[in-house]
Structure 1
């Protein structure tokens, strides 16, 4: 597999023709071949699409966010309107004029489709396209590039149902190849080199035929409630105690009764109604009432619960 990035790309501004810029940087398309994957940073896509502005960065983060996932000091991890979970909603102030910020493209998959189509129409080559952005990873230091947009590309290889060389069945193996291609491209792009385009050659098996764009990078985004880490650790405690209906979804689908009972059994005081209600909320259940004990005390008796249905 080969990965390279051309030098000499001019500063991209609103209204620029990205397909023309890519082809010019790649010998008017002579350096491209069928089955190549063209990687483009989201920043130049956003610049070309007029997603650069001056003004309040915090306000832009609010505008781009669906909800706050976690906050530690000034750092905000949010659920972006595209479904991505990332720091500062992808709002960036690097590689842009002082006092300006860049927002993610409105629809990175659509941007990738347009670029793929433009390259094919002008140069006659069938390529896949990945629009990339940098993101941190839970449990890991540092950042890596991921695919926020894709076109003409298998974005994940499904190995479920296959067996390994030892005969073991593969149940949930799903390599996110679009993210892996984005990471490979980032190795030659760098952050300070002025190289926003890269070509990855050697995985033509992942590139779809002309006219078939595939599901896009959107297919790699877990739906709300499908992730085990829908809230930050502190935020999960507060949201469960507050018990607002709108906060249920990030906790996921209701757990089975055995899981709920085990969680309730871990409470230091199983008659603490506030704690019981919070645990039930976090596990997708609700308290329907309490059967009072013989003394009539609110801390006696049995709690009646049921799973939340939508």
Structure 2
């Protein structure tokens, strides 16, 4: 049972949200960056910048239930990977909005057995010019592709992706936290 504090109660009143839900969001946040239009833009304890600290009230059995992000998504991916016989690459996903776009897309919040990025900076493009910014978010692209193969309300817990073998590695790899931009490099903070 969640007992909302003063900050949660005040924010909830301003945002038109349940104070208990807001308290859970605050508990899952390292920092609240914005509180606008019914949404709290937060930095989670993992370092993800997302709406409502990833606290989700959709696809849950009752009105008083919310789902939280895993405490250690990369650890969860490693655990799942090593419990399967062929140690496949694992990507754990969640829906994120994007600052410059409408709509949500699934992104990797945890991964194991996968190189989460592919850095093309320094390579030459088809016109012979050096690429200066191309750093492919492989784990995020696989997460988004998997989301297209299922529906949000289909209760499908996993998707098998084939054809991404060039990104699969033998060890667990650095995990999806390697995708999180350090605050010093964040263009919005």
Q: Distance in 2 between matches of 1:67 and 1:193?
A: 33
Aligned length: 170
Q: Distance in 2 between matches of 1:172 and 1:73?
A: 33
Q: Secondary structure at the match of 1:79?
A: strand
- Conserved in 2, the CA contact under 8 Å of 1:80 and 1:89? yes
The structure 1 residue matched to 2:98, chosen from 137, 157, 163, is: 137
Tell me the residue number matched to 2:6: none
The structure 1 residue matched to 2:179, chosen from 204, 211, 220, is: 220
Tell me the residue number matched to 2:137: 176
Tell me the residue number matched to 1:162: 123
Q: Distance in 2 between matches of 1:102 and 1:194?
A: 14
Tell me the residue number matched to 1:67: 31
**1:10-21 counterparts in 2 under 5 A?**
none
Gaps of 5+ in 2: 1-18
Instruction: Give me the TM-score of the superposition, normalised by structure 2.
Output: 0.87
Tell me the residue number matched to 2:14: none
- Residue 60 (structure 2) pairs with residue 96 (structure 1): yes
Q: Secondary structure at the match of 1:161?
A: coil
For residues 121-173 of structure 1, give each alpha carbon's deviation from its aligned partner in whole angstroms, at most 9, with x where no partner exists: xx2x1410000000000010010000000001010101112111221111221
Q: Distance in 2 between matches of 1:103 and 1:203?
A: 29
**1:19-58 counterparts in 2 under 5 A?**
56-58=20-22
CA RMSD of superposed structures (Å): 1.2
Please state how far the C-alpha of 1:96 moved relative to its aligned partner: 1.2
Tell me the residue number matched to 1:86: 50
- Residue 168 (structure 2) pairs with residue 207 (structure 1): yes
Q: Secondary structure at the match of 1:197?
A: coil
Please state how far the C-alpha of 1:192 moved relative to its aligned partner: 1.0
**1:234-249 counterparts in 2 under 5 A?**
none
Q: Secondary structure at the match of 1:62?
A: helix
